[in-house]
Structure 1
Amino acid sequence: MKSRSLQSKLFFAYISLACLILFSFAVFFYAFVSRQLKQSQISAMNTLNSSFQTQVDSAIRNLDAVSVNINYSNQSKTILDNSFNLNISSDMLSAMSDLFISLSGTELKADQVNLYDFSGYVLEAGISTIVKKTDGSKDEWIEAARELEGKKVLTPPYCTREYTKTATYDQWFISLYRSFNNQYKRGVGVIETAKQCKSVFKSIITYKKKNHEDAASIYVFDSNGDLIYPYDISQEYKAALQPYYELTKGDDSALTFISPLTGKTEYAAEAVSSYTGYTYLTIQPESVVLAPVYNLLRILAAIVALFLTVSIFISYRLSRSVVKPVKHLKHIIQRMELDTLGQEKVTAYPVSVNELEELYQAFQLMSDNLKDSMEQLTQAKEQELRARSMALQTQINPHFYYNTLSSIIVLAENGDSQTVVKMCRNLSQIMRYITSTAETTVTLKDELDYVQKYLYCMKVRYQSSLNYSIDVDERLLSQPVPKLIIQPIVENAIRYGSDCAPPWNISVTSIVTHGSWQIEVSDTGPGFTEEAKERITANIMKAIQNPGLPELKINGLGTVNVYLRWKIFCKGDIIFRYGNNTDGHGVVSIGRYFQNKEDTETV
């Protein structure tokens, strides 16, 4: 992750805080106001629906009242004869026309009243007044009213020129049909009362004209789901509006949905008339409902931009006032070297923060104290490294001493005095090599000579069961190594490599590459198990994380001991591997990378 400067972090922190506050306020404002506007708009649309429903229901009730009055009027039954024959005389037409007009009233509750008999004639009164033969276009509604036996039948809006005096343009009507009974309560005809759609839907039309583009969309559906308003549109457009009716089948009177026409969010209010069965749907796009919010948001955005500009300026000044003294102190630190510790004094620098002034004083004190302790620290570090190396080496001495004594005891028990003498002579040289503390670093040649004597002692002990070989490149013999660094690896190879049927073979070889050299100790035993490798790795990691001497048993040297001594000697630049070769036998390699070009050329 790319790091950033302190000033940029402080600057962005201040700006982020300001943005968070402003953004939270804007979100709260938008959510609160939009909810209030939505509720207000839904309430207004419900009021509109109620108004439209009341006016339309009133117009339909007037049509219904006229048909009921005609049906129960004794005068109409007196004018008509018992056979209900409408094609009799012009006097009967005039009398019935006057009767219909009087029953419709001065307000003209019905624009047209038609009385049909069952022999194919109709008596028309109102816009058109005539007795004529029917053309069969209304037989469907006549039959429906006849079957309902006195109940009303409402038609959808229909377009006709039949009642237009000039016959130059069509007009839209809605008709109400009801069966007509004679004085014997027997159905002898059908009454039709009709009114122009512009009168039935007058309140909706007036609302649309008054509000123009801001007006909500008003749709009215009958109980069958057919669109009856707007009535003067094409069948294709009516089919496109049909999905709106499907949206009204829920339980909510206020709806929010995606428009099937525009694909945008819309709000709707629904009302259903229990008298006509009409469903009134008032729809308003979200963009219109929330238009005042959007206008306020534009003003708010300008205010937020102004506040952000001011916040940016203040944040920059605040962050700069904090960071500038720190940068000054950084330049002083960059110029500082070990040789100049304590010599350069921190000059007085005006700061506005107490903590920064204390930082200056603390740095000056640190510089003075650091110079005094640097030399002591360097010497202590060197002594620590020497002490740790000596301590790790001394852990080896008792271990090898006891193992060698065990071998001599076995030889003495077998009565091989000559070999005992030779073993004791070798042991004397080995112990002299081990116990000499004058130096902890030897050449690889000296270490391998010691390993040679050690392997001889082990060969005498195990006889023909043990074979060994040492084949190391002569160019490596002058390489410096810690004393007793190879022998523990060889001892472990013998210990774990003999965990199988003899003979056991131990080999010490060297590998030299362009940039490194290695000493490799291998055996012919069963090799490292996965558990052993995991345990060694865990112990090494534990030793790395917890510097100090590892816990080792006196009768066994650990791989961790060798690793730590080699790492201390090489200061971390080492090669140290353990595992199994392709044949499944154990192999341990120890080495290092060449430190410079001269070492590479020498080897």
Structure 2
Amino acid sequence: MMAKGPKSIQSILKSTLLVSMVFLIVLFTCVFSLMEYTSQKNFLESEMQRTCNAIAKDIDLQLQQLDTVCLNTINSTSMKDSFSNYMNSADSSSYEISLFRNELSNVLISIRGVDTSIRQINVFNTDGEGFGAGNYTGSLQTNVDKLPWFDAATKAQGLRYYPGARKNQIYSEGVGTNENRYYFSLVRMFYGDYHTPKGYVEVLKYYDILFHRAYEPETNYPINVTIYDENKKIVFPLDPSKEQEDCQLYYATTDYSDLTVVTAIPSREFFSTIYQKLLPILIILISGVAACYFISKILSKRLSAPIKNIYRQLQRPEFNEHFEEIALEDSHIIEIEKLKNALNDSLTFRQESMNSMMLLKEQELQAQMLAFQSQMNPHFLYNSLNTISAMIEEGLYPETIQMSRDITSILRYISSNKEQTSSLEEELEHCELYLKCIKLRYADILSYSFHVCDDILDLQVPKLCIQLLVENACKFTSETLPPWHISIEGEIKDGFWYVDVKDNGPGFDDNTSLRLRKKMDEILANGLLPSLELDGMGILNVFIRLYLLYGIDFVFDFGNLENGGAVVRIGGPYEENQ
């Protein structure tokens, strides 16, 4: 039986045409469902907003009616005259008082008109005397400044004010209604001649009548209604419950009364109707998606299995180390077979190129590090011989002998070219040995200190990098008036390790700082390393050796301290297992 030959991607795509057609059907179903969902959602939102607007409009009309009665009362000359006559009838006969009382009552009733929803009109003067007509008709003996709305209504200066709902047993007993029934009132202060306050007019309605549409909204959905005044205070309902977290909210603002009506419907109730209408479409969609899933799973597995095998082999750690060829069974797909062969050819060439490049790179780095390290030996020896010569001239013979022995130990350390790096602890030990040699000459006028975190002592740093910085610090500090101090500080901060070499010398002048930073920028920009002279090689040598060892992932900075002196900082990223 003949083996099947590899197939082209074109033939496989032809076999998946059916899947593409099913996908189009599913896509059409999804689009149709989305359109239907959007349509139903917009309809319900429109319905909820219409209900909210209707509630706001009804309450606004009733409050406007309250305010109209209040304004008509304030602007009625008959009311003011009758109220004045009644309030000033203390010395009149009982018959005259009765006439004044009936006259004022008739005026207030006529202002109210035929609208029986206005249950009470009260008029007060500033002396605390008042008269009411409606559920209760008669004198109102009270201190007006003790009424709950007095301060706010006075502050409103003639503008309307809603004191909020409250009970009034006297008003309710007069008409035989429930004594626990709430009233909602509107209050305005009115003025006399020369804009002097004369009193207050209060118009009241039953609370449940005023907010009837809020109690029983014309909708088939369970909505909650909350009404706020212009100061964001709740005026409905009487006992506001805790707001539900997952609700659809709709807002409407009244034009006249400055109230804000908020209707809330639970999201579960809101979306349940939409989902019910979408349920048949969703069932068809789920069935279609399930069928497409199994078909696409089989086909995608067949197409992607060879590519996944190639990917897994490329991701193996040993593959990147040894550049093994990709081992793959015959996929019967022409393009994948060509891809496999091309990758293997590329990997073979890459391995050969990488081996050559790594060998050359390693040789180059070692040569550069050795070259710059070898420049350090004559540099140190030059400085040490100058120091020994000066000490002999000064007659410091015992100190010269001790310094020669210490310098011998240092030379053994710096003359070893087997390793280009050493631990920070070893580097600091030789720095301290060098500082002891220098202190033999200068005695108490030179002091030094080490403050280095123990956690970074095992870090590998370029050999003699801190030694050079300490030598430079001693050299330039000794050119100023004593006492001289050298400080070496090391710490870990924000994921980086740092070592600072500080002195109290003259610091860096502007020309030297500018020249060094320019050379450092050039090295980082093009990677070309300059040749160094023996004199003044310290800082730039350390920078280049850090660059050769770490690439660009290192810290190097220098500058002047606020209180005088210079500081040079080196560092790099710190990891606990570094």
Mark yes or no: TM-score above 0.5.
no
